[in-house]
A and B are shown apart, each in its own frame.
Chain A
Amino acid sequence: MDLHLMDAVATEEEREALDQFLGAPESGWEGGLRDARDAHTAEGGHEARAQRHLLLPALQAIQSRIGWLSEGALNYVCQRLTVPPADAYGVATFYALLSTVPRPRRVLHVCDDIACRCKGAAELCEQLERTVGPAYHHGPEGDHVAFGENDAVWLRSPCLGLCDQAPAAFVTVAGAKPVERLFGHADLAGLQRLVAGELAASLEPRGRLPQAGDPSLRLLRRVDVIDPTSLDEYRAHGGYESLRTALRLGPEGVIREVTDAKLMGRGGAAFPTGRKWEAVARQPARPHYLICNADESEPGTFKDRVIMEGDPFSLIEAMTIAGFATGCEQGFIYIRGEYPLATERLQHAIDTARARSLLGEDVMGHGFRFDIEIRRGGGAYICGEETAVFNSIEGLRGEPRNKPPFPVQVGVFGKPTLINNVETLVNVVEILRIGGPAYAAIGTPGSTGPRLFCLCGDVTRPGVYEVPFGTTLRQMLDLAGGVAGGRQLQAVLLGGAAGLFVRPDELDMPLTFEGTRAAQATLGSGVIMAFDDRVNMVDILLRIAAFFRDESCGQCVPCRVGTVRQEEALHRILAGRPRGGMDGEAALLEEIGVAMKDASICGLGQTAYSAVESAIKRLHLFNGARPA
């Protein structure tokens, strides 16, 4: 490859931001000062190109310092990492948290997604529009709305994973000491103060776990009980006993326990975890990689955040066990970019564990090597899809790959890869604590163990709840105090935006894999979002359709265009101008949906019709009030 750079030159500050991350350039080839030696040496080849995986973190380093990526900044990144500028531009324009157009240093991402809409997010955004100015978006000519007097803008954001504290917002302030805060219970006055420049550093990061301290808890038993930054407290509460057990059992023993436990993946696809581990362990190709999928961007989902913020060491321990069992020496945590506190706590936990030889060259003096690196997402729901995670880590656009080959054979960097959800992994700590068979006795025969549910929307006490599998939907709603304000329940969204709506007369459905399957529903990522009788369900449906259109990677035709056509049809219905009448639109939506489900590459397109379909067929949304 003949690297053809642009002419644009990075500013001093842009260079400094990147040099802080990559270290100073070693030669003129990489953008350092030219000296006589440069004429006689060359940088390039495989070694130079092998830095590609640093592309996203490099772009993030500049984004968080400057607030956007100029041509000069991108050029310098390309020179340092030997990446063609066009490629880097393709990556930079994939992520919503990165900007290739000028953006002020202070950006407010205000969630207007479904759970927050139940708590007035749409009205909040309208008020912001009126008082602060329009959201930073495109004018009709492709221009951008002016910043105004404040060095700040606001943007509409998809679900921020803080639905229990809706309405949520995420503020980023670029600079030498960048500030990032995810906060809940946002109100107009507070947002206005942030726009006006008030410090964001003091914002209250998180609420309290509703079940905190409940002795029946397994996965959440330490959350809001111990200091999440204290390894000693973690150990005093049983921490690292499971790793010790694992080292005693040996890799095959660990996999046997996980298989006996009949653990199923909690990331949405419900794949048997033991089978996955065994498949990776058996792959002859080396090295093996482990990835913890902490991208958690399914609207309505926030369980992984609660674990990572409240009990970060448990994830580190779980990953160490997984690495030991499947022969991985390197683990990655791919965490969504909107989770600064969870990222900070995990980094602290990793550093502490390393200092105490619980990670590193010789874990627990057992001669086993394992370490963990955190990679942050850039604002892209699709990057939670397992093969998109690989591409994102490798510094490519976060587009899913075709399967087969499957991750266990060909995963990140082309090597066998174990990828599991945060909750899935944390279950392994419990499995080794009580033993596979004892774990399998929890729940139902088809759905074993405890399960985390994210209760949000119009419930009295939103939050993450842990229950054994088999609890009914009604019991879950009761646990969260029922519908807020004693109002009437209109519908429940199960499993997130990729899940589906169920009716108030279906609440006796047991929340198990088999129970939901029998009811033609899904648990997905464990979302239970309640809507009371005041909610305009068409509005919710439009937001879900917009979400899929926004978050489609754009690779395959059924999803790239199908999500647009689906949203357009819903807007025609809303505008009272359905083509071919309501029945015509319903039939068209079905045709679009079936093609998306059948012919899309990945789960995003395959589920993009799910909620809309259930609204039509289960809630009979368009049968009652038919627009003219």
Chain B
Amino acid sequence: MTATALPLIPLRPARRMVELTIDGETVQAPEGSTILDACRHQGKEIPTLCYLDTLHPVNVCRACVVEVEGSRVLVPSCSRPVEAGMVVKTDSERVRHSRKMVLEFLASSVDLSTTPDVAGWLEDYGARPERYGPPAPPAPPGFRDSLQPGHHAPPDPDYAATVIQPVKVDNELYVRDYGKCILCYKCVEACGKDYQNTYALTVAGRGFDARISTEFAVQLPESACVYCGNCIAVCPTGALMFKSERDHRDAGTWDESRQTVTDTICPYCGVGCTLELHVQDNEIVKVTSPLDHDITRGNLCIKGRFGWRYVQNRPPDARGNGRGGDGRPRGSA
């Protein structure tokens, strides 16, 4: 990576090491690091969905649970700090069972077709989401947004309840397909206290009816959203997606093997965020910034994230991927 290689490593005091046992092996880990850090250091694979090392851990998906001796219940490895003398099991029957169930619960209620890695985990853990019955028909538009806390109608015994619903397309830049949402809270954190401080998104409702929402589920253009796209950058499921990517996917033309990623610096302002341009067939299809970048931590603003259409000096696109294909910045006559 180009920009991240700059010698900007902050000076930190050397951390004390603690000794713990993971799957029978004695290991050392820096104080304050998590069980997950220690496991990854050992090269152990632990599935994670709601964890991202640039965000505060919310430990809600429970895919990463491990057994810690002396603890009545399993613990989320992504957020539990290591302690001296801890005895951890990462692959016991108990651990494998809960992980399998978490994966089954999600796969039977959410469209995971664009969640990376999950297909492999489902297989590894022997998950069988189909055993809860055929998925219920998709909810009508707006239905899940209207659900009120409290009493619910009895379930239909012939179907497994899901969160499948129509995709929300209410702006030109990105789409929200909450039928793919696993409620990992990452977008809420990125939009609110962790980075963007815009607070356009919240979790609304309760229990299985909980969903990501704006105030009164208004459309994005009416909400506080400033289209920084930082929620898209952290969404692990493809529920939030560039409209350009979504259009390609819907047209069956999305092909990552044909894509290149080019690093550059955002031309708009003096901050100089690193941009990664994802290009397919000589067309920018989305823009990201490296999560481990010291300045951006993966975040950008609307200009860096979406303001690249002017680069593509081509006639209006027949595939309909965006306006302003005349080579001029939008808004210029």
Determine chain B's interface SS by DSSP, over half rule: loop
Residues of B within 8 Å of A90, CB to CB, are 202-204, 213
Contact A379 B150 (CB under 8 A): yes
Residues of B within 8 Å of A575, CB to CB, are 157
Contact A89 B216 (CB under 8 A): yes
Contact with A along B180-215 (1 / 0, CB 8 A): 001100000000100001111111111111100111
Residue of A nearest to B94 (CB): A598
Contact A84 B101 (CB under 8 A): no
Residue of A nearest to B109 (CB): A561
Check if B223 is an interface residue, CB within 8 A of chain A: yes
Instruction: Give min CB distance, B239 to chain A, whole Å.
Output: 15
Contact A554 B183 (CB under 8 A): yes
Contact B140 A141 (CB under 8 A): yes
Count residues of A near B (Cβ-Cβ below 8 Å): 74
Check if B97 is an interface residue, CB within 8 A of chain A: yes
Contact of B73 among A542, A579, A606 (CB under 8 A): A606
Contact A551 B146 (CB under 8 A): no
Contact B131 A99 (CB under 8 A): no
Chain B stretch 226-244: residues in CB contact (< 8 A) with chain A: none
Bound-state Cα–Cα, A591 to B98, Å: 9
Bound-state Cα–Cα, A379 to B148, Å: 12
Contact B152 A550 (CB under 8 A): yes
Stretch at the interface among B59-67, B295-303, B316-324: B59-67
Residue of A nearest to B145 (CB): A142
Chain B stretch 120-138: residues in CB contact (< 8 A) with chain A: 131-133
Check if A369 is an interface residue, CB within 8 A of chain B: no
Contact B97 A591 (CB under 8 A): yes
Contact B204 A93 (CB under 8 A): yes
Check if B105 is an interface residue, CB within 8 A of chain A: yes
* Chain A CB within 10 Å, residue with most, of B58, B98, B109: B98
Chain B stretch 56-104: residues in CB contact (< 8 A) with chain A: 58-63, 65, 73-74, 76, 79-80, 94, 97-98, 101-102
Check if A489 is an interface residue, CB within 8 A of chain B: no
Contact with B along A597-622 (1 / 0, CB 8 A): 11111000010000000000000000
Check if B119 is an interface residue, CB within 8 A of chain A: no
Stretch at the interface among A1-9, A359-367, A478-486: A1-9
Contact A550 B94 (CB under 8 A): no
Residues of A within 8 Å of B94, CB to CB, are 598
Residue of A nearest to B184 (CB): A557
Check if A275 is an interface residue, CB within 8 A of chain B: no
Residues of B within 8 Å of A595, CB to CB, are 97-98, 101-102, 105
Residues of B within 8 Å of A138, CB to CB, are 143, 146-148, 153
Contact A380 B149 (CB under 8 A): yes
Check if A562 is an interface residue, CB within 8 A of chain B: yes
Contact of A599 among B73, B145, B151 (CB under 8 A): B73
Check if B218 is an interface residue, CB within 8 A of chain A: yes
Counted as pairs of residues, one from A and one from B, with CB atoms less than 8 Å apart, the total is 229
Residue of A nearest to B99 (CB): A599
Residues of B within 8 Å of A588, CB to CB, are 131
Residue of A nearest to B154 (CB): A571
Instruction: Give min CB distance, B190 to chain A, whole Å.
Output: 14
Contact B155 A568 (CB under 8 A): yes
Check if A34 is an interface residue, CB within 8 A of chain B: no
Residue of A nearest to B147 (CB): A138
Contact B106 A563 (CB under 8 A): no
Bound-state Cα–Cα, A74 to B201, Å: 16
Residues of B within 8 Å of A594, CB to CB, are 97-98, 101
Residues of A within 8 Å of B200, CB to CB, are 4, 84, 86
Instruction: Give min CB distance, B162 to chain A, whole Å.
Output: 10
Contact A565 B152 (CB under 8 A): no
Contact of A554 among B102, B143, B148, B210 (CB under 8 A): B210
Contact B133 A579 (CB under 8 A): yes
Residues of B within 8 Å of A71, CB to CB, are 215-216
Residues of A within 8 Å of B205, CB to CB, are 93-94, 554
Residues of A within 8 Å of B224, CB to CB, are 2, 4, 84-86
Residue of B nearest to A70 (CB): B216
Contact of A156 among B97, B151, B202 (CB under 8 A): B151
Check if B267 is an interface residue, CB within 8 A of chain A: no
Check if B25 is an interface residue, CB within 8 A of chain A: no
Check if B158 is an interface residue, CB within 8 A of chain A: yes
Assess A562 versus B202: contact at CB under 8 Å? Given A156-B151, A572-B157.
Answer: no
Residues of A within 8 Å of B223, CB to CB, are 4, 86
Check if A108 is an interface residue, CB within 8 A of chain B: no
Assess A600 versus B73: contact at CB under 8 Å? Given A402-B79, A562-B101, A565-B132.
Answer: yes
Contact A96 B149 (CB under 8 A): yes
Residue of B nearest to A553 (CB): B206
Assess A6 versus B218: contact at CB under 8 Å? Given A157-B151, A555-B60.
Answer: yes
Residues of B within 8 Å of A606, CB to CB, are 73
Chain A stretch 68-93: residues in CB contact (< 8 A) with chain B: 71, 74, 84-90, 93
Residues of A within 8 Å of B147, CB to CB, are 138, 142
* Chain A CB within 10 Å, residue with most, of B80, B151, B156: B151
Residue of A nearest to B218 (CB): A6
Contact B149 A579 (CB under 8 A): no
Bound-state Cα–Cα, A93 to B205, Å: 5
Check if A592 is an interface residue, CB within 8 A of chain B: yes
Bound-state Cα–Cα, A94 to B207, Å: 9
* Chain B CB within 10 Å, residue with most, of A402, A555, A579: A555
Residues of B within 8 Å of A549, CB to CB, are 152, 207-208
Check if B175 is an interface residue, CB within 8 A of chain A: no
Contact B207 A142 (CB under 8 A): no
Residues of A within 8 Å of B148, CB to CB, are 93, 96, 99-101, 138
Residues of A within 8 Å of B142, CB to CB, are 142
Assess A577 versus B203: contact at CB under 8 Å? Given A138-B146, A599-B98.
Answer: no
Bound-state Cα–Cα, A86 to B210, Å: 14
Residues of B within 8 Å of A88, CB to CB, are 215
Contact B106 A557 (CB under 8 A): yes
Check if B287 is an interface residue, CB within 8 A of chain A: no
Bound-state Cα–Cα, A567 to B160, Å: 10
Contact of A577 among B61, B80, B158, B199 (CB under 8 A): B158
Contact A397 B131 (CB under 8 A): no
Check if B38 is an interface residue, CB within 8 A of chain A: no
Check if B161 is an interface residue, CB within 8 A of chain A: yes
Residues of B within 8 Å of A546, CB to CB, are 151-152, 154
Bound-state Cα–Cα, A87 to B197, Å: 12
Contact A564 B208 (CB under 8 A): yes
Chain A stretch 263-293: residues in CB contact (< 8 A) with chain B: none
Contact A137 B207 (CB under 8 A): no
Check if A560 is an interface residue, CB within 8 A of chain B: yes
Residues of A within 8 Å of B218, CB to CB, are 6
Residue of B nearest to A561 (CB): B105
Contact B197 A1 (CB under 8 A): yes
Bound-state Cα–Cα, A218 to B184, Å: 49
Instruction: Give min CB distance, B127 to chain A, whole Å.
Output: 11
Check if A552 is an interface residue, CB within 8 A of chain B: yes
* Chain B CB within 10 Å, residue with most, of A550, A588, A594: A550
Instruction: Give min CB distance, A283 to chain B, whole Å.
Output: 19
Bound-state Cα–Cα, A91 to B215, Å: 10
Bound-state Cα–Cα, A188 to B308, Å: 66
Contact B149 A568 (CB under 8 A): no
Instruction: Give min CB distance, B302 to chain A, whole Å.
Output: 14
Counting from the closest, the 4 A-B pairs by CB-CB distance are A90-B202, A554-B210, A4-B224, A84-B199
Offer 11 A-B interface pairs, CB within 8 angstroms, sorted by A.
Answer: A84-B202, A135-B151, A158-B151, A552-B208, A557-B183, A558-B98, A558-B105, A591-B97, A599-B73, A599-B98, A600-B62
Q: 10 new A-B pairs (CB below 8 Å) besides A101-B148, A546-B152, A553-B207?
A: A6-B218, A138-B146, A157-B151, A380-B149, A554-B208, A557-B105, A557-B183, A562-B105, A575-B157, A595-B97
